[in-house]
Amino acid sequence: MPVAPGQTPSSSVTALRVGVFGGTFDPPHVGHLVTAINVHHALDLDVVIMMVANVPWQKDGTRDITPAEDRLEMVAAAVDAVPGLIPGRQELDLGGNSYTADTLAALADEYPDADLFTIVGDDAAAKLHSWERSGEVIDRSDLVVVDRPGAPVELDPDVDWIRVEVPHLDVSSTDLRARFVDGRPLDYLLTGATLDVIERRGLYSFEAEGAIASVRQS
């Protein structure tokens, strides 16, 4: 079951195991969900927080980014019916650029005594030491790298990585945003609940209405 912030385990049970899967989620897609669900299962986590970046500093200025509250609502819709996954707004509440070190510090206060697991893709893991205060991330959490089947990436051997292989779905938020513009199918790439948020908030393009209509009719 999802775990409420501030919840602590009784003395008769082990510490909560809380996964943190951060991203821009612009928009959140089935690849994100498959990753979170598989890590949740593989590591027997109590909950995986789909942590929405407020200002993703590594992408800021490279393109227009959908407002954080819109991205949070899409994530909330995507995980609403998925046991063990919850949306995270902690980085929105912290404000400014989103740094994992700050997020983990906030979560340590909200989930006292919990074991925290930072979940990243292999590309992000390879750039770990470029992160702001990466040493704090290493100290505050277990680092989980998501591997593609049969293609593990070589990582810093001095970091005690936990490696989880998940099915590889060649889906990207970049491609999905383009599909809204040019009208290509969105079937099975986004959840229906996520599409409802996009339609209601008028996100991505004025062509989005036609793209969503094609999914509704399929």
**pLDDT in the model for residue 64:** 85
Rounded to two decimals, the pTM is 0.86
What does 84-142 look like in DSSP terms, one character per residue? TEEEE-HHHHH-SB--HHHHHHHHHHHSTTPEEEEEEEHHHHHTGGGSTTHHHHHHHSE
**pLDDT in the model for residue 5:** 56
Q: Order the strands of the 85-88 sheet from edge to edge.
A: 85-88, 47-52, 17-23, 115-121, 142-147, 162-165
3-class secondary structure, 164: strand
**pLDDT in the model for residue 23:** 95
* Average pLDDT rounded to a whole number, residues 123-150: 93
Domain residue ranges in the chain: 17-171
* Average pLDDT rounded to a whole number, residues 27-56: 97
The pLDDT-based confidence of 62 (bands split at 50, 70, 90) is: low
> For the segment 148-205, what is each residue's pLDDT rounded down to a tens digit?
887 778 999 999 999 999 998 889 999 999 999 888 999 899 999 999 999 999 999 7
> For the segment 24-35, what is each residue's pLDDT rounded down to a tens digit?
999 999 999 999
> For the segment 97-129, what is each residue's pLDDT rounded down to a tens digit?
999 999 999 999 999 999 999 999 999 999 999
**pLDDT in the model for residue 6:** 54
- Confidence check: pLDDT of 9 > 90: no
Number of Cα atoms under 13 Å in the Cβ half of residue 214? 13
**pLDDT in the model for residue 14:** 81
Is the pLDDT higher at 139 or at 9?
A: 139
**pLDDT in the model for residue 176:** 95
Q: Locate tokens 């702001």: which residue?
A: 132
Residue ranges of alpha helices (H) inside the chain are 30-42, 68-79, 90-94, 100-110, 122-126, 134-140, 173-182, 192-201, 208-217
CATH assignment of 17-171, given 3.90.550.10, 3.40.50.300, 3.40.50.620, 3.30.420.610?
A: 3.40.50.620
Cα Rg for the chain, rounded, in angstroms? 17
List Cβ neighbours of 97 (8 Å cut-off, separation of 6 or more): 54, 55, 57, 60, 132
